[in-house]
Every structure is written in C-alpha cells, then in structure tokens.
Structure 1
Amino acid sequence: MVRHMRRLATVAVGALATALLSLGTAGAASAAPNPAPAGVDITGVGLDAPLRLRADTQPAHVGAVIDQVNFLGQTGRPTGPKPADLGPKYTVVVFAGETAQQTYDLYPKAVGGPRVYRPAKQPDARKISAGWFLGRLSMSETLRTAGVPLERQFDTVSGGAGGGERVLPEDTLDPAKDLDDALGDLQRLLLLNVGVMLTITVGLAGIALLIRRRTR
C-alpha cells in the first residue's frame, strides 16, 4: 500500500512539473502520458552543497517547492525590492528527469513578503521575460521543511503544498492574559464613565447656582 501511494504521488508530482514546464511555451504539444520524474535542486545561504530532491523519493517536498513557482504569470515587475531588503537568496532549479528546465531565485525573508525572481536566461533556452513576483506566504516554511536551514516561522501555516494564511500570534491565545486585559479595559472604562458623570454633575450644579443668584 505504501509503495502504491508513493507511486501515485510521484506520478502526480511529475504531472505538476510537466504543467509548469509548459508555461510560456506557445503552441506546446500535449503532455506525454508518462512524464519524466520531476525534481528540484536548491542552493543558497547556509547550504554547503546543493539540496537535491527527487519525486521518486520525496514527492511531497518536490511538489511543495514546485508549487512556490508554478503560479507565475508571463510578465512580472521589471524591478524588485532594494538589495538590502531581499534577505537570503535561494536558487531553485526544476528538473524533468535529469535535465534542468527552469531556474528561479527565491527570497523568503524579503521585506514586505516573499519574492520570486525569474531570470530571462533559462536552462531550457525558452524565450521568456525576466520579472519579479510576489511569493507565497508559505515559502519560508516550505523551504525549511525541505531541508533549507531557515528559522521556523510561526505566523504562517502552510495550506497544503504551498500557499498559506496568517494566524494569530501564540501570545494572543493565552486565556488568562485575555481575561486580565479585558478586566483592565473594563476598569478603565468605568473610571472614565465616573469621571464624565462627576464633570456633568459639577457643571449642572454650577449652572443652577448661577441661575439662582441672578434670579434673586
């Protein structure tokens, strides 16, 4: 059963890689019925040697990394963030079988959110424009899970293979802290109301006294 499930996962990742490799190619032929096993190589900060992932042994990791770049459009932004705001760079090369097909530069810690840069020069020599793209929120955790030495990111939860959604920080989930904060807010609100009532009462008393003196 485990071997059968791994075979199915490998086929699915191969199909995903085939779909990715067909992006930007005009008049592409229909995909082959048995796509070559996909894979990715990752190089960058903290990696002494390329991190090699292949679909036949690590289909989940390969699929998750490919999903970080398979949504890019034909045209990206011509310029990206300032170099000082990009953070560590990780180059991902997508393979079909043993043949390199595409390359991307990923910046999971960029200021303002993850970024992807697609160079115009690609291993498969296809014509495509260079461009910058906003990356998925799950980029850092996806790379970390795949083996890249990145710190764990607690403000993002992976939504399957790629994608993600923001969640509340852990300290906001403390019920005791929430109760203390609520009681403190209530106390301040009551004091404010008492102050307002005293101010109104004193003001009315002063007005009444002034009217009484003038009517004598």
Structure 2
Amino acid sequence: MNLNSRQVLFSQIRSTFPIHHTALSPPHHESPRLDRATHRAKGIHVDHVVADGDLLDIPGRVGRVISTPGHTDGSCCFYFADEGLLMLGDHLLPTRFPGIGLGGKAVSGNAVADYLTSLEDLVPLNAAEGLPGHGYRFSGVNERIGDTHAHHMTRNAQICDAFTATGGTVWEVASSVNWSNGWASLSIFHRFSALMQTYHHLSAVEPPQPTEHPMRHQIPPSPHTSNGTTRVSQG
C-alpha cells in the first residue's frame, strides 16, 4: 500500500492473558512450558491509540478503524473503502483459523461470542481483498468469513461432545479434540491457543452443549472470486 515505513499500524497488542494458565489444569510437567508460551515482549511504545470508527491519518488514503475483539480483546481491522481493502491483522486468515482469547479480557465476557460477532460485522463491507497478518492477500473475504464461522460452530460441537464424554478438565477436553495437526504435534504456543479456545467454548454455555450462533447477515457474493486459498485449520 506504499505506506511510509515510519507509519506502523498495530492491529493488536497482547498485553495480558485473561486467565492464568493454571486454570487450564495442565499436567504438572507442562506448567513451565505454558509459562514460556504466555510470555510476551514488553516495551512497545504506542504513539496514538485508536477506537472503533476512527479515521486513520494517512496522506492520500481514507482508512477506518473497525473494532474486532475475539482473537485478543483489542484486535481491530482497518478498512480502506476506496480500494476495497481490509487490513485484517490476525482476525481472519486465508489458510488457517486464528486462535481465540489470546490476550486481555473478553468484551462480552466470552471471547468466542466476541469473535463470531466481530466476524459478522465485516460482512456488510463486502471487501474486495483482505490483507492478513499471516499468509498472503486474498479475495473472497466474505467466503472466508463464512468458512471460519462454520469452523467454530463445528469446533464448539466437538468440544461440547468431548466434555460430555470425559467430564474432565480443560486440558483433558482439549487433548481429546481432533485438532488439525493432532494434539501431540502442536507446538507449545499452539497448544496454549487450543487450550484457550477450549476454555472459551466451554464457558460460553452452561452446562456445556453446542451453542447456536446463526450469522446475522447473509453473505453476499464477493466482488472477486476466491483465488484458491487452501482451507487448512491450525486449531
């Protein structure tokens, strides 16, 4: 987008995690590893904090801030309507499904509910292209929103079924869910991400059972067809 290199837009800053990792009931030998997974670099200086609806002061462009809590509590996207471009950060990715509840306190009290609502808030934009924080720019943004929403509905049912079968801790439930790369193969950070996702899915409903969260918006056709993004879940 030819932004001056001195102008950096942060779509999220993971400052604190919503719960201590011990609440996830890991085996004793796993606790030190989870401690390392939750550590984040400090000392980032932010010149200006933006809020939902703010316009970005970028010469030659008009960008709007869209608050999209869920991945983290302060996650946001930046929409450039004239070009149909949506800077997505980690909110929506072309080849994987982002983690949920990885920083801060959930706005609604549950990061899964926040995330699904934030996904749907992007549908009316009908963005031509998405610029994610990982992967590559892609078309078919609304199609990907639909895929991601459906993924989390399926994941919710899997987690609730696993809880019914095991009646166990967050760790025990998460370790019995069919993660794309297999629980044993997950890196320590992706394992922590899986634990947080399980925690928020379980806390979304009481007693745990599949939740219904139909999309408020019918997904309109995207301005461009999908460019062949591969639907591969990383959790």
TM-score by length of 2: 0.22
Higher relative contact order (CA 8 A, sep 6+): 2
Larger fraction in strand: 1
TM-score by length of 1: 0.23
